[in-house]
Structure 1
Amino acid sequence: MSSGYDSAKQVFADWGVDTEAAIARLKDIAISMHCWQGDDVVGFETQTGSSGGGIQATGNHPGRARTPDELRADLEFAYSKIPGTHRLNLHAMYMDTDATPDRDEIEYAHFAPWVDWAKAQGVGLDFNPTFFAHSKADDNLTLSHPDQGIRDFWIEHGRRCREIAAQMGAALGSPAVNNIWVPDGYKDTPIDRMAARRRLEASLDAMFADPLDRAKMLDAVESKLFGIGVEACTVGSHEFYMGYAIRKGTLLCLDMGHFHPTENIADKLSSVALSLDEILLHVSRPMRWDSDHVILLNDDILAMAQELVTADLLGRTHIGLDFFDATISRTAAWVIGVRNMQKALLRALCLPLDQLRKAEDTMDFTTRFTLTEELKDLPHGAIWAEFCARMDVPTGQTLIRDLDSYQASVSSRG
């Protein structure tokens, strides 16, 4: 224990906060790190091509992972700089196989190397069907397409992804969250939104028809406000999926970039938690709506973490990240993003909740306001540094040197 931590520990104790309990709780919070930051959402079905479907990574910083082995090496480096044990969020387009199955033909064997790697690393896996970057998604319509044949193709893809996720969860002893997001929508104003949404609902019902063990796999559905090419109408809106998740008992994914820029996503958590058993978060930074920037330790992230703690939702919420920036080191983006989420959670875990709740319950809003401002001056950095030291990961200048050194080692990738 450093002298700096010992002093900070006492400062927090004076406020009634047990920093040891906060560190212990933070250590157990697993964050699902998204694979697609490492290769600009290209995937390994082919080595070239556009991601499409409203998905776009900008920039050409050297060092993009081009193979599963390169991506896994980058992930291992990133995890070594992040305190705690976490998860990997894998998309179906990241299969590792010499075979060339179409999306409706993929099997667990095409992802077995990822499971073997996850076992060796001690990380859990989550999964996502890939409903974009495919000729049958060129119209930005998949599960809601008017053509039954197109819908059947994507329904089968979704079914197979659920089965793959369940096998992953069984192999790793931890349920894989299988998250459904489709780019479906219209560039200009549609005549019949209801027909499209009925088709989407029926396709989802067909995809979820076979019940799978929730100890192995958890279904989640994700909404979006709009996307490139679907500016006028997104079929899978927030209202659509919130109702669907409540009716069908799936998880609801709240992506911080998928709402109006002025909406407070943290405010939604306690509302949806009254009707849902579990929630999935995709934590992002929408500088200009869904621009998916690397998350900062800013007010939005602090508010999200505080809501998770104060509403006692940590045990019911799966935290995943979703950003991709090809203008900077991809491994550094992972490391800084995950660590910022952890820093926000630590700050929330170090709140004197009894004092804050007492002030609020007695309608002493002056004291509540004063407390929240004074607490910003507490030495959170010393608690974070102690947590990192116990987890044997670097901070400060040492971290920067490690990130720079690794980036230099991969910069020669074409």
Structure 2
Amino acid sequence: MNNVLQRYEEAKVCYSKYNIDLESCLKKLKKIRISINCWQGDDIRGFENNGNNLSGGIDVTGNYPGVPRNPEELRSDLEVALKQIPGNHKINLHAIYAESNGEKIERNKIVPELFDNWINWAKSNNLGLDFNPTLFSHPLADNGTLSSIDNSIRDFWIEHCISCRKIGEYIGKKLNDQCLTNIWIPDGSKDIPADRLGPRKRLKKSLDEIFSINLNPKYIIDSVESKLFGIGLESYTVGSHEFYMNYTNGKSVLYLLDAGHFHPTEYISDKISSMLLFKDKLALHVSRPVRWDSDHVIILNDELNEISKEIVRNNAIDKVLIGLDFFDASINRVAALVIGTRNMLKSLLLALLMPNDYLVELEEKKDFTSRLAIMEELKTFPFGDVWNYYCHISNVPLESEWLNIIKKYEEDVFLKRK
């Protein structure tokens, strides 16, 4: 470890060239909580045990061994992942992760107590929880949910979302925290629709009814999530970017940007500053689309770095709620969680290590040459030494160490699951 400390001290000298205080940067990073998606851990299976396959424009590819078979195994896997990730974070749940002890409970009838095991587990592990209604992979989701022309189907999903908001508030109260409760629906059309307005009118009416129930904002934050298209919804999505951006105007409901829910050449990093001008807070689902909304595990690429830069340079660390949303069953599921979450934190650290004020000063002087030169120079600064030091003081393994731990867990646990 002496080598880690020595290299960190050398990095301090390097970054001091631009008056960057590493200790201050690491303190800021430590306060950032990432909402880690539990559904990467089990391929979005949940615990309903109703035999339904994934539907609603969602698919998980791969058949890596070791998928958890019950809540205890999923939580065990999450604990292993969390021990490799610096900081204190949150776990993001879907309604299908309710624990009913084998009793069949319809989604519009779920109650807060079905998540007590998750809450008690979160308390014991110093974690927060976020929550999502599950409006997919269900027989009543095949032909529209909150925008359905069938009143009984629409009412079913309205009841489900209201129940989920109450669960979100319950979670927040139990943990003395705020629980982000996010609504996403898979409604749309495979081919060109004859009526785009009607479903959106019905969606607006449904949302108005869902949010008419007043809950304590001390414990729950509401958000809605847009999408460009999905599998089987290639021509029209009811809950589009424009719909939700306008719907949330003037409301306490947050807008959630998902990195995979836009055109392949459209980036959410460019949207963050615009959204923050009109909303006090913004929610994110960070993913990695490859050609379409394929939800690959996030890597330390340009767009991830730009997302983090926009959060940091706009002093929005306390304004942007960062969640992850990817699912890959072709690789070790626990490793995927570790890789994705550590990369999110790495990108935030890289953004914190930028001399943002100085770069803005150069930009205002129209010294674009210096701006570009410095941005490029910083790419080869010893960022990795700062990251390793942060892992060291956070008591989590360094890059060369955590993978061995996961591989051992795979050998001891994953490969013994049938």
Instruction: State how far apart, in whole Å, the 2-side matches of 1:81 and 1:373 are.
Output: 30
Task: Check if 1:351 corresponds to 2:354.
Answer: yes
* Cα displacement string for residues 51-73 of structure 1 (whole angstroms, at most 9, x for unaligned residues): 21111100100010110000000
Number of matched pairs: 413
| Deviates further, 149-158 or 185-194 | 185-194
Instruction: State how far apart, in whole Å, the 1-side matches of 2:193 and 2:340 are.
Output: 38
Return the offset for 1:249: 2.5
Return the offset for 1:354: 2.5
Instruction: State how far apart, in whole Å, the 2-side matches of 1:116 and 1:394 are.
Output: 26
Task: Check if 1:210 corresponds to 2:213.
Answer: yes
CA contact (8 A) 1:225 1:238 kept: yes
Residue from 114, 122, 133 that aligns with 2:137: 133
Identical-pair percentage: 48
Gaps of 5+ in 1: none
Secondary structure of the corresponding residue to residue 286 of structure 1: coil
Secondary structure of the corresponding residue to residue 250 of structure 2: helix
Return the offset for 1:396: 2.5
Secondary structure of the corresponding residue to residue 314 of structure 1: coil
Kindly provide the amino acid, as one letter, of the partner of residue 283 in structure 1.
V
State TM-score, norm by structure 1: 0.98
* Cα displacement string for residues 135-158 of structure 1 (whole angstroms, at most 9, x for unaligned residues): 10122x000000111000000000
Instruction: State how far apart, in whole Å, the 2-side matches of 1:48 and 1:412 are.
Output: 23
Secondary structure of the corresponding residue to residue 220 of structure 1: strand
Instruction: State how far apart, in whole Å, the 2-side matches of 1:249 and 1:201 are.
Output: 15
Return the offset for 1:188: 1.2
Gaps of 5+ in 2: none
Q: Any residues of structure 2 matched to 1:57-206 within 5 Å, and which?
A: 57-98=60-101, 99-139=103-143, 141-206=144-209
* Matching residue of 2:397: 394
Instruction: State how far apart, in whole Å, the 1-side matches of 2:390 and 2:29 are.
Output: 9
Secondary structure of the corresponding residue to residue 35 of structure 2: strand
Instruction: State how far apart, in whole Å, the 2-side matches of 1:78 and 1:341 are.
Output: 14
Residue from 316, 325, 328 that aligns with 1:325: 328
Kindly provide the amino acid, as one letter, of the partner of residue 329 in structure 1.
N
Return the offset for 1:47: 6.7
Return the offset for 1:353: 1.7
Secondary structure of the corresponding residue to residue 247 of structure 1: coil
Q: Any residues of structure 2 matched to 1:229-378 within 5 Å, and which?
A: 229-378=232-381
Instruction: State how far apart, in whole Å, the 1-side matches of 2:165 and 2:82 are.
Output: 26
Instruction: State how far apart, in whole Å, the 1-side matches of 2:252 and 2:279 are.
Output: 7
CA contact (8 A) 1:42 1:48 kept: no
CA contact (8 A) 2:362 2:368 kept: yes
Return the offset for 1:212: 1.0
CA contact (8 A) 2:36 2:90 kept: yes
Cα RMSD, aligned residues only:
1.0
Instruction: State how far apart, in whole Å, the 2-side matches of 1:12 and 1:400 are.
Output: 29
* Cα displacement string for residues 267-316 of structure 1 (whole angstroms, at most 9, x for unaligned residues): 10000111111111000000121000000001010000001011111110
Ranges of 4+ aligned residues in structure 1 off by more than 4 Å: none
Kindly provide the amino acid, as one letter, of the partner of residue 127 in structure 1.
F
Kindly provide the amino acid, as one letter, of the partner of residue 24 in structure 2.
A
Task: Check if 1:227 corresponds to 2:239.
Answer: no
Instruction: State how far apart, in whole Å, the 1-side matches of 2:292 and 2:168 are.
Output: 30
* Cα displacement string for residues 314-360 of structure 1 (whole angstroms, at most 9, x for unaligned residues): 11010000000000000000001000000000010011122211101
CA contact (8 A) 1:38 1:65 kept: yes
